[in-house]
């Protein structure tokens, strides 16, 4: 194993690759959730590469910043009041990476009721201008 690479297994979380890359991606995952909760869909879309693809269930593949921003734009008075992503594994492969794991959150609906949800995901990342951006983002549900 080359100097500077780490492989940590704790609480069933496996991170493999250079520490600074892992730290950057974990930081980006955290700020992604903060931006979703803030309803800042422009900032959320900026987490993706300009040619990124997202794979929402029961829709076609959506590609590019405008389509992705539109997907994350809060609608119908709904508000995401909790959003958390827990990677199970994160692996750096040079200037690309992938992670998979679980997400969970709560939406406050326009009528004031709250709906919680959770699911699982796979993301592939690309290193762009010394930062890490999401290139492919696919997920689906787990029953509550």
Shorter beta-carbon distance to a copy of itself: residue 79 or 115:
115
Burial of 140 (C-beta count, 10 Å sphere; 0-12/13-18/19+): exposed
Give the residues across from 87 on adjacent strands. Answer: 101
Residue 140 CB, nearest approach to a copy of itself (Å): 4
Distance CA(65)–CA(48), nearest Å, equals 7
Site track 12-51 with a copy of itself (rule: CB under 8 A), x = hit: ----------------------------------------
Residue 112 CB, nearest approach to a copy of itself (Å): 27
91 is a contact residue toward a copy of itself (CB under 8 A): yes
Torsions phi, psi for 73 (to 5 deg): -70, 125
138 is a contact residue toward a copy of itself (CB under 8 A): yes
Binding segment toward a copy of itself, per CB under 8 A, in 17-25, 27-35, 73-81, 132-140: 132-140
72-103 per-residue burial string, b: 16 or more CB within 10 A, e: under 16: beeeeeeebeebebebeebbbeeeebbbbbeb
Shorter beta-carbon distance to a copy of itself: residue 11 or 112:
11
Q: Which of 94, 111, 112, 129 binds a copy of itself (CB under 8 A)?
A: 94
């Amino acid at each position: 194993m080359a100097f500077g690479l780490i492989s940590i297994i704790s609480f069933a979380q496996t991170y493999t690759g250079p520490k600074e890359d892992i730290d950057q991606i974990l930081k980006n995952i955290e700020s992604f959730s903060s931006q979703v909760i803030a309803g800042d869909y422009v900032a959320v879309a900026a987490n993706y590469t300009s040619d990124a693809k997202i794979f929402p269930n029961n829709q076609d593949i959506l590609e590019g910043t405008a389509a992705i921003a539109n997907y994350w734009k809060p609608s119908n008075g709904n508000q995401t009041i909790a959003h958390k992503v827990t990677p199970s594994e994160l692996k750096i492969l040079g200037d690309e990476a992938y992670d998979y794991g679980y997400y969970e959150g709560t939406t406050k609906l326009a009528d004031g009721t709250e709906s919680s949800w959770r699911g699982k995901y796979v993301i592939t990342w690309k290193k762009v201008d010394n930062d890490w951006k999401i290139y492919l983002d696919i997920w689906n549900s787990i029953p509550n």
